[in-house]
Structure 1
Amino acid sequence: MHKLYDFMEARERLGTVIEKTKLIYSGIFSDESGNEVYIKPENLQRTGSFKVRGAYNKIAKLSDEEKGKGVIAASAGNHAQGVALAAQKLGIKAVIVMPKHSPLIKVEATKKFGAEVILVGDVYDDAYKYARELQEKEGYTFVHPFDDEDVIEGQGTIALEVLEEVPDADIILVPIGGGGLVSGVACAAKLKNPLIKIIGVEPEGAASALAAVKNNQVVALDEANTIADGTAVKRIGDTTFNYIKKYVDDIVTVSDYELMETFLLLVEKHKLVAENSGILSIAGLKKLNVKNKKIVSILSGGNIDVLTISSMINKGLINRKRIFTFSVDLPDKPGQLVAVSEILAAQNANVVRLEHNQFKNLNRFHDVELQVTVETYGEEHINKIVEVLNEKGYIVKKLNS
């Protein structure tokens, strides 16, 4: 276990390498949670995530002999870029083993930092196995994404920055994947302020840390099923488990739907783009049974592709009742479509899509089914639209509620 000066030395080590990601006060998440909420935007970090902190700290502490032989890592995501950038900054060789089907954008980003990328196997486990074989053969130092003391130490520098800006913070919320980030942040924060609460946040479909705490030992989940792919870890580390037991006060879980809703608010209100794993700690705000506390949510990463962004926004709109799809049956005679359109216009519902299909309704021969998608202000607005349509004699079938 680390001492406070270990983290302070790590911070000095990282001084010229990392971006200073200043806290952002969040009016929207403060209002929604009833607390004073700040966001630590590590999505704005170099490589787009916090991972460069732990990777650089680990590699910088290697002996000259170890540096001369180079480093190796297995990763399909943020860790790959963190190790590649750290090695480039230190002028040493880095080999990154990634699964064959890794997103091309992540492969190219890793190569851009000067690393040699080897594509092996269909899943992470295949890449990890091959990386370990190469490590033995070539004498590289293996840089683990989370289960490593020096990596944990590097991640803990985030807590020092947080408490420098908000020394009287009551709670820090931290995403949990393998446990490296929460271990470092929890240890450093508690050494600085023993009264602070550290709460980890996991996706419901991959709550491996919560399972370990409940069983009082590290366990492997049967599956890790979540849109938060960066934290889809079936088994946390043995080292990180010890830190979690000692320093983490609680672990909460959030659903994929809650992540979608949080993503939308973050983009809309803060103009911040984050990956699904990165926003766990913000989505977790709703799971806290506290009010009027100073809370910092660590937004851990922002590496997300454009198609996923589009999907997350659309699903977030639906989840927050900002998009409403419904159908009504209309008599098959002129003027009916105009009548419905006028009702919607009077209610300030912006029509996004409209499908008028006289062949779709098989139950009533003389009727036509009209499917409509509208933008709304939220649930109250939807209820008002339905109420007015009902008053005009239309039976509304909700299709996305």
Structure 2
Amino acid sequence: MQETVRKILTARVYDVAIESPLDPMPRLSARLGASVLLKREDLQPVFSFKIRGAYNKIAGLPPEALARGVICASAGNHAQGVALAAARRGVKATIVMPTTTPAIKVEAVRARGGHVVLHGDAFDEANAEARRLERESGATFIHPFDDPEVIAGQGTVGLEILRQHSEPIEAIFVPVGGGGLAAGIAAIVRFLRPETKVIGVEPAEAASMQAALAAGERVVLNQVGLFADGVAVRQVGAETFRLCRDLLDPEVVTVDTDAICAAVKDVFDDTRAISEPAGAVAVAGLKLYAARHPVRTGALVAINSGANLNFDRLRHIAERAEVGEGREALLAVTIPERPGSYRRFIQLLGNRSVTEFNYRYAEPRGEGAPRDAHIFVGVALKHPDEKAQILQALAGADYPVVDMSDNEMAKLHARYMVGGRAGDLRDEIVCRFQFPERPGALLRFLESLRPEWNITLFHYRNHGADYGRVLAGIQVPEPERAAFREALQALGYPYADETENPAYRLFLDASA
């Protein structure tokens, strides 16, 4: 730790980075009963803390290395950080990016002086090409996190926090991807203020540091969710794990997509700044920690690590924020098809605001069977116990109800598809996919399926990300299910089988 602290104290970052402000969050503070402060790394010249580590690494290279240039592989904030840092030092920077990288990110790197090489469909292929070019050209590879000089540059964030807030700090919440920011901050804080906790926060679907700390060694996750793409890393770094294992608080917090969206809204409400999902991860973790630990010993600090957000993603974030904050319940309710049923249903909701109302008539399941209607309804909530009260009231009135508030398929797809059922379909499997947002992605999916496997359902939504959310139904006879699963494995698109999901059964399954 001593060597890391020395490097942090002597890091060269302020030729290009700013000392970002530590802003109060008065509205969130009042709600949590705590003093909440936000470290505004979204205000850096590349809208991310990544400029610190990249510049510190490049500034420390000897003249002969600078003459050969630098190289990295990245489709995100690291790419812009390396490009700008190299430009400030008058060094050639080659940035290898996957061909699937959105044009807005490619142009941002070029605008900062980087020479962009597009290669491969995914990061691993781009990284392999960058390593090949490194060997061929002699350029220095700038790792996004697993490098002592990069870690030291990121650690200056922690040094600034301690200088900016001399009063007690109970905990600093740090978003964790590869672990560079967490390792640097943990090292300097443990050295200067050992009583302050440094707590890593990860998305639940990309918790590589939590898994590594639990196992006592680095592990490789089979796949990671890409919503908070800035921290979607399958394996933490070797050096970052060594430091985090010894210095990071063992209570790594994980948060889901809805909590992250709610945190984006919290940041906006208090600062009028729009954080990227990865940038709001720490705020989401802070809120979860505050709920579990009501006794305060000092301020709670969260790092807003970045603001590189495609505008189109705001639609999805806004949709999910209210659920993530517990201010909206999404319910599937079955009511009888008879006069007065709707009125009685609305009366049970009382004067609560209905945020969404989708209806689908359900055919009787047999001769003499009752005629029912399935309703997908959103209800605004005023206090934490209100959802339970609604569920109890509906169940007490003999209205079957399923809480869909935590059902990913329902929130992503079913709510937009209520009203469409086909005839009786046998052997239908329904899967939720993440498609890469690139030309030919759908064709590749179709070509991976046997011609006799009929597509019965398809729903796609663009969320302004590097991937698309797809729900697909395919007819696959039972004897061919193993071959179907093998085909999906070979395709390589992350997926989840949703055939037994209640949202599908209630609203989309013709055989239900």
Tell me, in whole angstroms, the C-alpha distance in 2 between the residues paired with 1:171 and 1:332: 57
| Residues 323 and 107 (structure 1), Cα distance of their counterparts in 2 relative to 1, 3 Å cut | same
Tell me, in whole angstroms, the C-alpha distance in 2 between the residues paired with 1:218 and 1:341: 53
Offset of residue 57 of structure 1: 1.0
- Which residue type is aligned with residue 139 of structure 1? G
| Residues 332 and 253 (structure 1), Cα distance of their counterparts in 2 relative to 1, 3 Å cut | same
Offset of residue 343 of structure 1: 8.0
Q: Give 1:72's aligned residue.
A: 71
- Which residue type is aligned with residue 241 of structure 1? F
| Residues 347 and 361 (structure 1), Cα distance of their counterparts in 2 relative to 1, 3 Å cut | farther
- Which residue type is aligned with residue 165 of structure 1? Q
Q: Give 1:362's aligned residue.
A: 364
Tell me, in whole angstroms, the C-alpha distance in 1 between the residues paired with 2:148 and 2:334: 61
The 4+ residue runs of structure 1 with deviation greater than 4 A are 31-34, 325-328, 330-333, 335-344, 363-372, 378-391
Q: Give 1:287's aligned residue.
A: 289
Structure 1 residue matching 2:169: 3-state secondary structure: coil
Tell me, in whole angstroms, the C-alpha distance in 2 between the residues paired with 1:347 and 1:250: 45
- Which residue type is aligned with residue 253 of structure 2? T
Deviations 1:132-162 (A, max 9, x none): 1101111111100011111111111111110
Q: Give 1:299's aligned residue.
A: 304
Offset of residue 360 of structure 1: 3.7
Q: Give 1:266's aligned residue.
A: 267
Tell me, in whole angstroms, the C-alpha distance in 1 between the residues paired with 2:348 and 2:32: 35
- Which residue type is aligned with residue 295 of structure 1? L
Tell me, in whole angstroms, the C-alpha distance in 2 between the residues paired with 1:214 and 1:353: 41
* Higher mean C-alpha displacement, 219-228 vs 324-333: 324-333
Deviations 1:350-371 (A, max 9, x none): x4444466x4453676776665
Q: Is the 8 A contact 2:4 2:184 kept in 1?
A: no
| Residues 105 and 247 (structure 1), Cα distance of their counterparts in 2 relative to 1, 3 Å cut | same
Q: How does 1:97-108 map to 2 (within 5 A)?
A: 97-108=96-107
Q: Give 1:143's aligned residue.
A: 142
Structure 1 residue matching 2:279: 3-state secondary structure: coil
Q: How does 1:142-181 map to 2 (within 5 A)?
A: 142-167=141-166, 168-181=168-181
Q: How does 1:167-316 map to 2 (within 5 A)?
A: 167=166, 168-225=168-225, 227-256=227-256, 257-285=258-286, 286-287=288-289, 290=293, 291-292=295-296, 293-316=298-321
Q: Name the Cα RMSD after superposition.
A: 3.0
Offset of residue 388 of structure 1: 7.8
How many residue pairs get aligned? The number is 394
| Residues 85 and 343 (structure 1), Cα distance of their counterparts in 2 relative to 1, 3 Å cut | same
Structure 1 residue corresponding to 2:335, chosen from 325, 329, 332: 329
Offset of residue 321 of structure 1: 3.9
| Residues 385 and 236 (structure 1), Cα distance of their counterparts in 2 relative to 1, 3 Å cut | closer
Deviations 1:245-267 (A, max 9, x none): 33223241313243233333333
Tell me, in whole angstroms, the C-alpha distance in 2 between the residues paired with 1:62 and 1:197: 33
Structure 1 residue matching 2:308: 3-state secondary structure: coil
Offset of residue 390 of structure 1: 8.6
Q: Is the 8 A contact 1:204 1:226 kept in 2?
A: no
Offset of residue 183 of structure 1: 1.3
- Which residue type is aligned with residue 296 of structure 1? V
Tell me, in whole angstroms, the C-alpha distance in 2 between the residues paired with 1:371 and 1:211: 36
| Residues 325 and 207 (structure 1), Cα distance of their counterparts in 2 relative to 1, 3 Å cut | closer
Structure 2 residue matching 1:171: 3-state secondary structure: strand
Offset of residue 379 of structure 1: 4.6
| Residues 269 and 136 (structure 1), Cα distance of their counterparts in 2 relative to 1, 3 Å cut | same
* Higher mean C-alpha displacement, 201-210 vs 47-56: 201-210
- Which residue type is aligned with residue 247 of structure 1? L
Offset of residue 241 of structure 1: 1.9
| Residues 207 and 323 (structure 1), Cα distance of their counterparts in 2 relative to 1, 3 Å cut | closer
| Residues 321 and 235 (structure 1), Cα distance of their counterparts in 2 relative to 1, 3 Å cut | closer
| Residues 398 and 246 (structure 1), Cα distance of their counterparts in 2 relative to 1, 3 Å cut | closer
Structure 2: gaps of 5 or more residues: 406-512
Tell me, in whole angstroms, the C-alpha distance in 1 between the residues paired with 2:359 and 2:245: 59
- Which residue type is aligned with residue 56 of structure 2? N
Deviations 1:225-272 (A, max 9, x none): 353222222222121122213322324131324323333333344433
Q: Is the 8 A contact 2:28 2:270 kept in 1?
A: no
Identical columns (%): 35
TM-score between the two structures when normalised by the length of structure 2? 0.68
Deviations 1:264-287 (A, max 9, x none): 333344433222222222222223
Offset of residue 17 of structure 1: 1.5
Q: Is the 8 A contact 2:212 2:218 kept in 1?
A: yes
Structure 1: gaps of 5 or more residues: none
- Which residue type is aligned with residue 185 of structure 1? I
- Which residue type is aligned with residue 307 of structure 2? G
1:25 aligns with 2:24: yes
Tell me, in whole angstroms, the C-alpha distance in 2 between the residues paired with 1:146 and 1:337: 56
Tell me, in whole angstroms, the C-alpha distance in 1 between the residues paired with 2:381 and 2:170: 36
Q: Give 1:48's aligned residue.
A: 47
TM-score between the two structures when normalised by the length of structure 1? 0.86
Q: Is the 8 A contact 1:259 1:276 kept in 2?
A: yes
Structure ranking higher on relative contact order (CA contacts 8 Å, 6+ apart)? 1
Q: Is the 8 A contact 1:218 1:236 kept in 2?
A: yes
Q: Is the 8 A contact 1:169 1:295 kept in 2?
A: yes
- Which residue type is aligned with residue 219 of structure 2? V
Offset of residue 318 of structure 1: 2.4
Q: Is the 8 A contact 1:347 1:385 kept in 2?
A: no
| Residues 212 and 397 (structure 1), Cα distance of their counterparts in 2 relative to 1, 3 Å cut | closer
Tell me, in whole angstroms, the C-alpha distance in 1 between the residues paired with 2:274 and 2:8: 29
Q: Give 1:400's aligned residue.
A: 404
Offset of residue 61 of structure 1: 1.5
